[in-house]
Amino acid sequence: MIKSEPFVINIGPQHPSTHGVFRIKATVDGEKVIDAEMVMGYLHRSMEKLAEERTYTQNIPFTDRTDYLSSMSNNLGYCLAVEKLAGIEVPPRGNAIRVIMAELQRLASHCMAVGAFANDTGAWQTPVMWAFREREKILDIFEVTSGARLTCNYMRIGGVAFDLRPEFEPMVRRVLREFPPFIDEMEGLLSENEIFIARTKGVGVLTPEMAINSSLSGPMLRGSGIAWDIRKADPYCGYEQYDFDIPIGYNGDSYDRFIVRLEEMRQSLKIIQQALDGLPGGPFRTEVPLALRPPKGEAYARIESPRGELGYYLVSDEGPSPYRFHIRPPSFINLSALKEMTVGGTVADAIVVLGSIDIVVGEIDR
């Protein structure tokens, strides 16, 4: 009988699938992970504290830098919180533009998630290249509308920053036309691929109880078979008028999270189609004073960001800047179930699980 000794390896931060400062201290016995400890790293941006020194409008650029892969959604969540706090109404055109932008951002973010996940399973760059190809088209739309590609900073309190340009609609129509074949391609390349299924099925299983107890959200929760989507459960920006479905998985493994993301892309396309067809006219923004002083009180607004429930908690003391500013980031909370998912699997599985969570480190230490 060979006696083996467990040893510790650091998966990350230099590891390609741990994007930056995050690392897993994994104790392994051969290839089997017998213990895993997460070290969140120290990005040390202290954004929440900084935000308490700036006015409400000045805080918007912070939010698109927390989650740099879904800046539109993050802007939107913050603006919703301020609007809730100050009681500001958004005109219907502004809401429709917001919905289109948030859904385009979901497409772009899921492209990254799906591509990086495929890369983590070892599909040597091809899926990630295809995903990037599609994502570029969406980033081009963002560039035309807001001037920036990654950190868009497009939402404003009371609406959006600029009206849509004439190039906008044909570009979105092009995405609507060219995206479904891409999703079908990914399905043929990955979700119907036996090696991919063998690698991801039954890996990182989360039971519904575990998912709820860890307060997970987004595709992680829906992969476990829980039909929970804030766009349906607590609609904002007029999501109740669009017809779309919530995709849910079967067993809560990495494979289910993957196919849920692919289906969410299809549903997002459906929403964009409806919103674009019924785009109302009129103003795109309610005029709001730059030095906004909301009445005393607190507000919590949440949206369904690509990674899950993104919440902003604001407390006002009638000053020009928030008394308290807190973000509920989905990546940070989704990571909390990592230990349960990785222990018992192999090192290769740990990477797949990490890829299926779809983390953005900017959100984890904000």
Catalog residues that contact another protein under the rule CB under 8 A. 7, 9, 14-17, 31, 118-126, 129-130, 133, 187, 189-199, 201, 208, 212, 222, 224-229, 232-233, 245-251, 256, 259-260, 263, 346-349, 351
> Shortest distance, CB of residue 108 to another protein, whole angstroms?
18
> Shortest distance, CB of residue 331 to another protein, whole angstroms?
20
> Do the beta carbons of residue 50 and residue 350 sit within 8 Å?
no
d(CA 172, CA 106): 14
List 10's β-bridge partners, or say none: 25
> Shortest distance, CB of residue 167 to another protein, whole angstroms?
24
Residue with tokens 């709820």: 212
Neighbours of 34 (CB within 10 A): 12
Q: Which is nearer to another protein, 64 or 229 (CB)?
A: 229
> Shortest distance, CB of residue 294 to another protein, whole angstroms?
29
> Do the beta carbons of residue 36 and residue 338 sit within 8 Å?
yes
Q: What's the distance, Cα to Cα, between the start and end of the chain in Å?
A: 49
Q: Residue 358 — left, alpha, or beta (φ > 0 → left; ψ -120 to 50 → alpha)? A: left
How far does CA 215 lie from the centroid of its chain?
Answer: 16
Q: Would you call the peptide bond into 13 cis, given omega within 30 degrees of 0 as the criterion?
A: yes
d(CA 118, CA 195): 11
Q: Which is nearer to another protein, 201 or 339 (CB)?
A: 201
Output the six-digit token pair for 357.
Answer: 């969570």
Q: Which is nearer to another protein, 248 or 288 (CB)?
A: 248
Q: Are strands 7-11 and 155-156 parallel, antiparallel or unpaired?
A: unpaired
> Shortest distance, CB of residue 34 to another protein, whole angstroms?
15
> Shortest distance, CB of residue 208 to another protein, whole angstroms?
5
Q: Which is nearer to another protein, 200 or 316 (CB)?
A: 200
Q: Which is nearer to another protein, 132 or 168 (CB)?
A: 132
Q: Which is nearer to another protein, 14 or 281 (CB)?
A: 14
d(CA 290, CA 239): 28
> Shortest distance, CB of residue 303 to another protein, whole angstroms?
14
> Do the beta carbons of residue 131 and residue 261 sit within 8 Å?
no
Q: Which is nearer to another protein, 115 or 329 (CB)?
A: 115
